[in-house]
C-alpha cells in the first residue's frame, strides 16, 4: 500500500496530489485558515461555515482581530507576534484558546495550532488549524461551578467533600476531594495520594466497607462514623455521608459523592450525655419511690415524657397511658386548681412540695409525697421539671390510727399518763389533769415521782413491770390516792 506522504507528493501525478490536498483541506472537520503577516485571512476552508456560520467570502480579506473577543485580543496579538517569530518546527508551542464571534453574534471558543509559513512561497502566511471547543468550555465551566458548590458545601459544613468512581475491578477510587485540611489535616493532593484508609484507625472498616458497598449498589445513602488519625497525629472522630449517583443516561451507580465532617466534640458531648443519662436513670431507679420527668405549658397542663420503673408498679400502668387518659382522672377534683397553680409556679423556677391522694389505674387510692424541681434551660426558660414521688400511704394510715387513738384518749373518763423509760411524763389526757387539778400540759416533762399520790406512781409502775412477766395479757389494776 502506498504511504500517504507518497500519495500527496507523488512526482508522477502532481496535479492529482494537489487535488487531493485541496480535498483534504476543504473536507476537513477542523477550520483551516491562512493569515498574512498583518493577521488578514487569505484562505479559509468550508469548515468555517459549519462551525462559525460564515461563508468563505465573508472572511477572506478580513482581519482576525475583527472577530476575536475584546477580552482575548491582547492574548491573540501576543501569540500572533510569537508565531511570526517562531520556526516551523515549534508548532506545538503555538497552541492557544480564545473566543471567536459566530455569525449569529454569539461567542464560540476555539483552540488553534498555528505554524509560521510566511517564508514559504507557496503559502506566504500563518497556517492555523482550529477546532470548536465551546462544548468543552461549557462543561469545564459547569464542572468549575460544581466544584465551587462543593467547596461551598465543604466550607459551610466545615468538612471535606469527595467523589469516588467505580473502576473496572469494581473498586472505589478517589477522583477528587476538597477541604481535606479541615478534617484530615493535610492538603487535598496529599489526601488523594494517601487514600482514606491510611487515616482510619483499626481494620474494622474493611468488613463494614463491604456492607456499605452492597447498600451503594441499591442506591442507598449511607452514613457512618470512623475514628481517624490526622496527618498531624491527632485522633479524631468523623462522620461520613455518601450517596451513590449514576452516570448520565445510565441507571447503574458508578460514583459516590459524599462529605466527611469532624464530629469529635459532638461525639464527646453525646457520650457525656449518655453517661449522664445512665447515671441519672440509675439514681432514679435506686431512689425509693419513683422519679419522672414532665413538660409543663403556661396553662399548667402537663405531659409525662419519662418515668423510672417504679411508676408502673405504683400506678399499675405506663405513663403513656396516663398521658392518654389525662392527669385529672388521677387527682382528686378538689385538688385540680391547686395542682395547676403549683405547676405554674414551677415555670417561674420555684420548687414545689406537697402531699396528696392519687388514684391508680386499677381504681385504688394512694397517698404520696411529691417534690418537683424545675429544669432551668440555658436561656432561663422552664418547660420541664423533675418529680420525685414517695408512697406515704402506710404513714398516713398510721397517722390516722394515732389520731383516732388520741381522740379516744382525750374523751376517756379514766386518767392516762405516758412516760418514757426514765419516768419522764410525755403525755397526759384531760381526765388525768383534772384528777391532779393541773392545767393541760402542766405535767409534761415532770417525773412520775413528782405526782402527789400514794403509793408513788413510779414505784407502782415498777411493780406493774415485775408482775407483767407472770400475767401476760391480763390488765394490772391498782388503787391510788391523790393528795389534794
Instruction: Tell me the three cell numbers of residue 293.
Output: 420527668
Residue 382 CB partners (closer than 8 Å, separation 6+): 296, 346, 347, 348, 349, 374, 375, 376
pLDDT tens for the chain, 484 residues: list them: 444 444 444 445 555 655 666 666 666 778 989 999 899 999 998 889 988 999 988 999 999 999 999 999 999 898 888 888 876 545 445 688 999 999 999 999 999 888 888 888 878 888 888 989 988 888 888 877 776 766 666 565 678 888 888 887 778 888 888 889 989 999 999 999 998 889 999 877 777 888 888 888 888 889 999 999 999 999 999 999 998 887 766 777 888 888 898 988 888 777 776 766 665 665 555 566 788 888 888 777 889 988 888 888 888 999 999 899 988 888 888 888 888 888 888 888 888 888 888 998 888 888 988 888 888 887 788 888 888 888 888 888 888 777 777 777 777 878 888 887 778 888 888 888 888 888 988 888 888 888 887 777 666 666 665 655 555 555 555 666 666 6
Q: Residue 88 has what pLDDT?
A: 57
Residue 454 CB partners (closer than 8 Å, separation 6+): 480, 481, 483
Give, in degrees to the nearest 5, the angle at Cα 88 between 85 and 89. Answer: 115
pTM: 0.40
Alpha carbons 72 and 111: distance in angstroms, whole number: 13
Q: Residue 156 has what pLDDT?
A: 59
Residue burial 359-371, b: 16+ Cβ < 10 Å; e: rest: eebeeeebbbbbe
Alpha carbons 422 and 458: distance in angstroms, whole number: 10
Q: Residue 4 has what pLDDT?
A: 41
Q: Residue 1 has what pLDDT?
A: 41
Q: Residue 99 has what pLDDT?
A: 94
Alpha carbons 174 and 196: distance in angstroms, whole number: 9
Q: Residue 247 has what pLDDT?
A: 72
Other CB atoms within a 10 A radius of the CB of residue 134 amount to 16
Q: Residue 200 has what pLDDT?
A: 92
User: Helix (H, G, I), strand (E, B), or coil: what is residue 296?
Assistant: strand
Q: How far is CA 322 from the centre of its chain?
A: 32
From the candidate CATH numbers 3.90.1150.10, 3.30.360.10, 3.30.450.20, 3.40.50.300, the one assigned to the domain spanning 139-262: 3.30.450.20
Sheet with 31-35: strands ordered across: 41-44, 31-35, 125-132, 107-117, 95-101
From the candidate CATH numbers 3.40.190.170, 3.40.50.300, 3.30.450.20, 2.40.50.1070, the one assigned to the domain spanning 287-396: 3.30.450.20
Per DSSP, the residues of 322-367 read HHHH-GGGGB-GGGHHHHHHHHHHHTTT--EEEEEEEE-TTS-EEE
Q: Residue 5 has what pLDDT?
A: 42
Per DSSP, the residues of 217-279 read HTT--EEEEEEEE-TTS-EEEEEEEEEEEEPTT--SEEEEEEEEEE-HHHHHHHHHHHHHHHH
Residue reference for cell 448520565: 248
- Are the CB atoms for 108 and 99 separated by under 8 Å? yes
Q: Residue 92 has what pLDDT?
A: 47
Q: Residue 7 has what pLDDT?
A: 42
Does domain 4-132 fall into CATH 3.30.450.20? yes
Amino acid at each position: 500500500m502506498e504511504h500517504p506522504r507518497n500519495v500527496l507528493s507523488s512526482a508522477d501525478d502532481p496535479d492529482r496530489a494537489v487535488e487531493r490536498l485541496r480535498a483534504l483541506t476543504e473536507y476537513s472537520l477542523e477550520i483551516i485558515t491562512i493569515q498574512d503577516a498583518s493577521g488578514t485571512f487569505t484562505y479559509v476552508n468550508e469548515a468555517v461555515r459549519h462551525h462559525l456560520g460564515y461563508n468563505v467570502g465573508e472572511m477572506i480579506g478580513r482581519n482576525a482581530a475583527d472577530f476575536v473577543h475584546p477580552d482575548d485580543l491582547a492574548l491573540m496579538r501576543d501569540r500572533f507576534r510569537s508565531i511570526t517569530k517562531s520556526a516551523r518546527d515549534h508548532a506545538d508551542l503555538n497552541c492557544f484558546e480564545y473566543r471567536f464571534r459566530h455569525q449569529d453574534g454569539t461567542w464560540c471558543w476555539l483552540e488553534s495550532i498555528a505554524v509560521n509559513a510566511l517564508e514559504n512561497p507557496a503559502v506566504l502566511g500563518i497556517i492555523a488549524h482550529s477546532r470548536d471547543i465551546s462544548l468543552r468550555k461549557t462543561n469545564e465551566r459547569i464542572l468549575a461551578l460544581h466544584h465551587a458548590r462543593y467547596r461551598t458545601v465543604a466550607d459551610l459544613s466545615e468538612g471535606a467533600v469527595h467523589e469516588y468512581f467505580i473502576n473496572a475491578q469494581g473498586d472505589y477510587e478517589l477522583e477528587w476531594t476538597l477541604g481535606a485540611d479541615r478534617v484530615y489535616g493535610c492538603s487535598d493532593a496529599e489526601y488523594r495520594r494517601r487514600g482514606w484508609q491510611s487515616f482510619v484507625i483499626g481494620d474494622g472498616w474493611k468488613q463494614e466497607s463491604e456492607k456499605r458497598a452492597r447498600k451503594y449498589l441499591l442506591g442507598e445513602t449511607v452514613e457512618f462514623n470512623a475514628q481517624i488519625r490526622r496527618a498531624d497525629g491527632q485522633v479524631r472522630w468523623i462522620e461520613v455521608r455518601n450517596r451513590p449517583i449514576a452516570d448520565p443516561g445510565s441507571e447503574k451507580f458508578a460514583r459516590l459523592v459524599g462529605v466527611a465532617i469532624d464530629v469529635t466534640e459532638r461525639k464527646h458531648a453525646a457520650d457525656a450525655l449518655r453517661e449522664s443519662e445512665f447515671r441519672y436513670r440509675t439514681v432514679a431507679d435506686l431512689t425509693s419511690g419513683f422519679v419522672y420527668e414532665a413538660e409543663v405549658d403556661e396553662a399548667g397542663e402537663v405531659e409525662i415524657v419519662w418515668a423510672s420503673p417504679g411508676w408502673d408498679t405504683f400506678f399499675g400502668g405506663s405513663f403513656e397511658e396516663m398521658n392518654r387518659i389525662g392527669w385529672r382522672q388521677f387527682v382528686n377534683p378538689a385538688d385540680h386548681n391547686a395542682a395547676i397553680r403549683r405547676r405554674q409556679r414551677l415555670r417561674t423556677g420555684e420548687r414545689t412540695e406537697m402531699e396528696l391522694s392519687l388514684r391508680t389505674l386499677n381504681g385504688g387510692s394512694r397517698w404520696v409525697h411529691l417534690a418537683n424541681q424545675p429544669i432551668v434551660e440555658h436561656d432561663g426558660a422552664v418547660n420541664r421539671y423533675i418529680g420525685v414521688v414517695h408512697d406515704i400511704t402506710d404513714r398516713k394510715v398510721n397517722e390516722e390510727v394515732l389520731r383516732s387513738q388520741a381522740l379516744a384518749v382525750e374523751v376517756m373518763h379514766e386518767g392516762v399518763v405516758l412516760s418514757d423509760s426514765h419516768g419522764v411524763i410525755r403525755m397526759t389526757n384531760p381526765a388525768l389533769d383534772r384528777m391532779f387539778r393541773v392545767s393541760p400540759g402542766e405535767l409534761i416533762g415532770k417525773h412520775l415521782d413528782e405526782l402527789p399520790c400514794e403509793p408513788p406512781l413510779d414505784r407502782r409502775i415498777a411493780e406493774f413491770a415485775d408482775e407483767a412477766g407472770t400475767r401476760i395479757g391480763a390488765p394490772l389494776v391498782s388503787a391510788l390516792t391523790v393528795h389534794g
